[in-house]
Amino acid sequence: MFLSKLTVPCFWILLTCSNFLQLRGQAPTDWFWVQPGSEIPLTLLDQTELELAWDGGALRTITGPVLAPQKGLHWLAVVQRDRAGRVSEPQFLAIGVDGDPPEGRLVVLPEPVMVGSVLWVGPTTEVEWQVQDPLSGIAMAQLSSAEGSAQTISPTRMRLDQAGSYSFSATASDRAGNLAAPATLTLQLDATPPLTTCQWRGPHHQDGANLYIGPETQAELVVSDTESGIGETQY
């Protein structure tokens, strides 16, 4: 956690205008985001007391930690009073409270094929970590590969080209610090096409590019694949 100053739209009273009050935490985009019940760390000068009001309520003196309310968007009015009774101009802070973690899923395109307990894919397959957070928004999203030489397209997207096993893991957090449930995925890439041969049962003769067969000769198509197996045969 680092010291930061909130920058808010011009119609708000800027926290940076205060020479006595600072708010520590992750710098937000438009709101200062915290989790429900977490402490909002306000620092004030010696020999002063802090008064605040949530969402247009009455000001009250604070003697302990300031805790975030329930989930939602809130206004916090803050004033300081010194021993002589002088009161500062009010500072209005926009506090966003988000207790819900981001939701994400790993998407494979084209879709993999399940053979037994193994998910098989072909070359140029892409894996994407799709994540969203409707309230505070995504602060970080990362897709990583522990096995295999996946090509990184973006922090949340990878391409598979070489044969082998690939293990993926994905993480994400929102602006309030909530973590998404971990996501993992293992894929096996098959880069070898099936082997197809034709066997003739009965009289036949090969003469250069020409094949001569008898009236009773039958052809048998033999297809094999030692990796993902045969999915469909057409002839």
Q: Could you report the per-residue pLDDT of 145-163, keeping only the tens digit for each?
A: 987 778 898 899 999 988 9
191-213 average pLDDT score: 78
* Type of residue found at 105: R
- Average the pLDDT over each of 3-12, 51-60, 223-232 and give the range with the smallest value: 3-12
Q: For residues 139 and 177, what is the distance between their CA atoms, to the nearest angstrom?
A: 8
Whose structure tokens read 């009774």? 85
All domains in the chain, ordered by first residue? 15-97 (2.60.40.10), 103-189 (2.60.40.10), 195-224 (no CATH)
- Is 130 buried (19+), middle (13-18) or exposed (0-12) by CB count in 10 A? middle
Q: pTM score, two decimals?
A: 0.70
230 in helix, strand or coil?
A: coil
Question: Which residue spans within the chain are E strands per DSSP?
Answer: 22-23, 32-34, 42-43, 48-54, 60-62, 72-82, 91-97, 103-109, 113-115, 118-121, 125-132, 138-147, 151-154, 157-160, 164-174, 183-189, 195-201, 204-207, 210-213, 218-224
| pLDDT per position as a tens digit, 76-130 | 998 888 888 888 888 888 999 999 999 999 999 999 999 889 999 999 999 999 9
16 in helix, strand or coil?
A: helix
